[in-house]
Amino acid sequence: MKYDKKMINRINRIQGQLNGVVKMMEEEKHCKDVVTQLSASKGSIQRLMGIIISENLIECVKLADENNESSEEMINEAVELLVKSK
């Protein structure tokens, strides 16, 4: 699978968020603020995982169609990955 620049930029933003959380913890900020930032980071990671899984699924289904193969197994695998990511 080819990962595009948007996906990499998402990771860079998440790293920035997590670095901000570390700074907040070092500065002993209120737990509500820390948890809010952690929750935002978690949501960003989950959205990115969903994007990666769906893009990969699209590629796999196209490839299966081109090779006259069943895509059912790939779809089931993608659903399992989505469930694990939650």
The confidence score (pLDDT) of residue 50 equals 87
The confidence score (pLDDT) of residue 22 equals 97
CA distance 61 to 71: 6
Contacts 24+ apart (CB under 8 A), 8-11: 10/44, 10/47, 10/48, 11/48
Contact 54, 77 (CB under 8 A): no
pTM, 2 dp: 0.78
How do residues 67-76 score in pLDDT, each as one tens digit? 777 777 777 7
How do residues 16-44 score in pLDDT, each as one tens digit? 999 999 999 999 999 999 999 999 999 99
pLDDT band of 2, cuts 50, 70, 90: confident
CA distance 1 to 80: 18
The confidence score (pLDDT) of residue 69 equals 72
Identify the CATH number of the domain defined by range 5-85.
1.20.58.1000
